[in-house]
């Protein structure tokens, strides 16, 4: 089997395997239930099995793979309880980010965020990867502006199940456009100087995916826990 991903030999191998597999799982390139065979992965990355094992253990700690000793390792199904907890964490942090940014009165920041939303709007009919990258950049910029940049990767690490739900939900007609409208409302509320309005706009934005769980589960029962 040919190597499909060349590693940076100046970095440790296990973190790179973890990053590659995690992105493949989050993007649903590797769907729930997909078997991950250590020997095959080692061959594909041109590695020994040790860094592959370490990467799979880290994915297991995030709940993204299920390891059955002496039997199999499978990409996990999307766990709704984990998604709800990630949503709770993200909402708690970003509500405070909204208050901080509103009270800052930083017109240059609001203009920058508005420009980012304009770019995202042009990507609404493009591939999901570009659109989602723009979405993440929008939120990451707000964390950075609020002085808490380290909290963004923390939330990302806890959001694997929630992010997979969002990937399943995004292709629904009109969803990308809804995200853009939500972001415009957030920027407008920030610029208004009203922290309560900014928090309300954010709360409405973040509630979207979990509010459509029943529909997502109906369309993808094999991917989502009951």
The model carries a pTM of 0.90
Domain chopping of the chain, boundaries: 13-75, 80-219
**Can you tell me which residue has the tokens 């509320």?**
189
Mean pLDDT throughout 123-148?
A: 93
Q: For 80-219, CATH number?
A: 1.20.120.530
Cβ-Cβ contacts under 8 Å for 55 (sequence gap 6 or more): 14, 15, 17, 18, 21
- The pLDDT confidence band at residue 171, using thresholds 50, 70 and 90, is confident
Give domain 13-75's CATH number out of 1.10.10.60, 4.10.93.10, 1.10.10.10, 3.40.309.10. 1.10.10.10
Q: Is the pLDDT of residue 15 over 70?
A: yes
- The pLDDT score that the predictor gives to residue 1 is 45
Whether the CB-CB separation of 80 and 162 falls below 8 Å is answered with: no
DSSP-derived letter for residue 11 is S
Say yes or no to pLDDT of 7 above 90: no
Mean pLDDT, rounded, of the chain: 93
């Amino acid at each position: 089997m040919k190597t499909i991903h060349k590693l940076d030999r100046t970095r440790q191998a296990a973190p790179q395997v973890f990053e590659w597999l995690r992105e493949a799982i989050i993007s649903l390139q590797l769907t729930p239930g997909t078997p991950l065979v250590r020997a095959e992965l080692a061959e594909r990355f041109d590695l020994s099995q040790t860094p592959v094992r370490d990467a799979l253990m880290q994915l297991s700690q995030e709940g993204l793979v299920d390891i059955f000793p002496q039997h199999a390792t499978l990409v996990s199904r999307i766990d709704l309880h984990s998604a709800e907890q990630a949503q709770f964490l993200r909402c708690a942090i970003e509500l405070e980010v909204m208050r901080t940014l509103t009270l800052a009165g930083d017109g240059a920041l609001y203009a920058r965020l508005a420009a980012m939303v304009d770019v995202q709007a042009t990507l609404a009919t493009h591939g999901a990867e570009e659109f989602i990258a723009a979405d993440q950049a929008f939120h990451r910029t707000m964390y950075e502006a609020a002085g808490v940049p380290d909290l963004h990767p923390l939330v990302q690490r806890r959001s694997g199940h929630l992010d997979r739900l969002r990937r399943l939900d995004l292709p629904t007609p009109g969803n990308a456009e809804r995200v853009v409208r939500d972001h415009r409302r957030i920027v407008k509320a920030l610029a208004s100087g009203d922290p309560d309005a900014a928090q309300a706009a954010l709360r409405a934005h973040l509630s979207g995916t979990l509010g459509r769980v029943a529909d997502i589960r109906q369309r993808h029962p094999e991917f989502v826990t009951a």
